[in-house]
Amino acid sequence: MKLQQVIINTDVLIIGGGCAGSMAAICIKDAAPNLNVCIMEKGHIKRSGSVTMGMDALNVAVIPGISTPEEYLETVKKKCWGIMDYFPNYTLAIKSFELLKTLESWGVFFPKNEDGNYNIMQVDTSGKFCVGMDEPDLKPIMEKKIREAKIDVLNKTMGTKLIVKNGKILGAVGLNINNGQVVCCKAKCVILANGSASRFGLPNTGYLYGTFDFPGNAGDGFALAYRAGAKITGMEFTLKYALVKDLNIPLIYIVLTRGGEVVNGSGEVIVDKNNLSIFLIVEALENRKGPLFLKTDHLSKEKIMEIENILFSTERPMQRRYWELKDIKFGRDLIELNLTEAQLCGGHGISGIVINEQSHTNIKGLFAAGDVSSVPMQHLTGAFVYGKIAGESAIEYCNNGNFPENHKDIHWEFDAELSHLGSLLNLTKNNTIQPTTFEYKLRRIINEYLLSPKNSSSLKKGLSLIYELREQLPYQVLAKNFHELSKVLEIGYILDCAQMSAISSLTRKESRWGCIHRRSDYPDTDDVNWLKHIDLQVGQTYPETDIYLREIQRGDGE
């Protein structure tokens, strides 16, 4: 079994074919059909990314006459406890309604009420920014547009390395996890859109892939960008969600906005549509005030049918079979809630690659969009909006950049990565540990040492164990085929994310975001010293990390 190298050329390489990457590709070909665009997608472009198939809502839509960008910014600022930059989120807000209309023009269905207005739901303590969507085929709609635009797609191909020289992107390397083809791509620019770090903390079921977000997201984009010299921020924001116990599937917003309630074991209402706060649910569960249950037995049959229609078609069709096997019925039974594993995500949290409002990173020619980028609480809207912005920035860069035909170092970089990947295919070595076993140990360490309540002692111990695992990985873990090789690479990405999270958590000497970053040795929130970003960048020698404190970007009048 041997890796095969192939070299390709393109103008724009997009790593990640989810909603952000697909939107970027479509917008580039619409605006600049002369540019060559190639997508590297770890899964298959038709069913890839966190959405995978469809969606029930657009979480951020600032609709004229209903809400304003300023109201949205104030809401997000409260959710982030002030750790957010003004212009990236303001840009998201002002472009969100235009994005909604674009999706509508593609055939994406947004239900309207009898007055002809969108179904707008309040899912935060203030402001109405969530618009109902009923589109089980959102991702196939985008895949069709990609096919029609004749965009090159490399399915089953995961990014393994960004090629950067003198602060400028030159291309990237990818591995086809089915046939072992190592794709060495020369590109004028690269858009990273390959998701969050979902496989980070360990789910309470112990199942590695039983994650809330797409389990293929192992922090690939965070790690690739970090190793290439891009700045990463918010890695101490170790986010947990409250979802269905043992299943980790979303349904709280869907049920509560239609009249459902969250109650405790005594039947007391904790959260309902008039006080819809996921934060309260998470805090209660973190503080062992459970069990908590989703209650729907007071709802009408019509509401139950509406909820089931969304859950069993658009959200997660496998839910129907799950509830049938458990003999649990909406409208009759209580549904127990529990905390998900911890994850790092720019879509639901604040973690990710530092970008500005044009989707630029600190590396020339490298752009980022979607969950891999830090635009706090951007959700699906951010993936679409910044996918489009990244595409526009890529066009401008390709049209105005200076690109040498032959860079003397790029083929050496390609060959070095091919050799590195080959060294991990250890058919003749004495490695005996299965990748799943090693990953389980790593993620158990993350749970035990890197999550709240945090303190200096546990974080340092966790960081020490992470460094030990990093040393052990190439010499102990077995990769006897291309699929297992991809798992070894993913473990490396998780290690990078764990290291960055531990370092950021150690650096932030305060407690912030409630149970997300609770330091027992620094129990108070300290805005005087810590109302700022913690940015990380690879040091002189990988995996050494440099730490930078960055002031919050404020808007006019703040």
Domains in the chain and their CATH numbers?
55-135 (no CATH), 242-339 (3.90.700), 427-547 (1.20.58.100)
Q: How many CB atoms lie within 10 A of CB 269?
A: 12
3-class secondary structure, 252: helix
Vertex 321: Cα angle to 320 and 326 (nearest 5): 100
Burial of 459 (0-12, 13-18, 19+ CB in 10 A): buried
pLDDT score at 428: 64
Tokens of 340: 């998900």
CA distance 491 to 438: 8
List the pLDDT tens digit at each of the 558 positions of the chain: 789 999 999 999 999 999 999 999 999 999 999 999 999 999 999 999 998 888 989 999 999 999 999 999 999 999 999 999 999 999 999 999 999 999 999 999 999 998 999 999 888 777 889 999 999 999 999 999 999 999 999 999 999 999 999 999 999 999 999 999 999 999 999 999 999 999 999 998 899 999 989 999 999 999 999 999 999 999 999 999 999 998 888 888 889 989 999 999 999 999 988 777 788 899 999 998 889 999 999 999 999 999 998 888 877 788 899 999 999 999 999 999 999 999 999 999 999 999 999 999 999 999 999 999 999 999 999 999 999 999 999 999 999 977 766 667 799 999 999 999 999 987 667 889 999 999 999 999 999 999 999 999 999 999 999 999 999 999 999 999 999 999 999 999 999 999 999 999 999 999 999 999 999 999 999 999 999 999 999 999 999 999 999 999 998 656
User: Of how many residues is the chain composed?
Assistant: 558
DSSP 314: I
Q: Which residues contact 156 (CB under 8 A, 6 or more apart)?
A: 41, 42, 43, 44, 176, 177, 178
DSSP helix/strand/coil, 182: strand
pLDDT of res. 207? 94
pLDDT value, residue 395: 98
User: Where does residue 524 rank: exposed (0-12), middle (13-18), buried (19+ CB within 10 A)?
Assistant: exposed
H or E element, residue 13: strand 4-15
Are 41 and 131 in contact by the 8 Å Cβ rule? The answer is no
Separation in Å, CA 449 to CA 82, 100, 103, 533: 26, 42, 43, 22
**Phi, psi (deg, nearest 5) at residue 235:** -80, -5
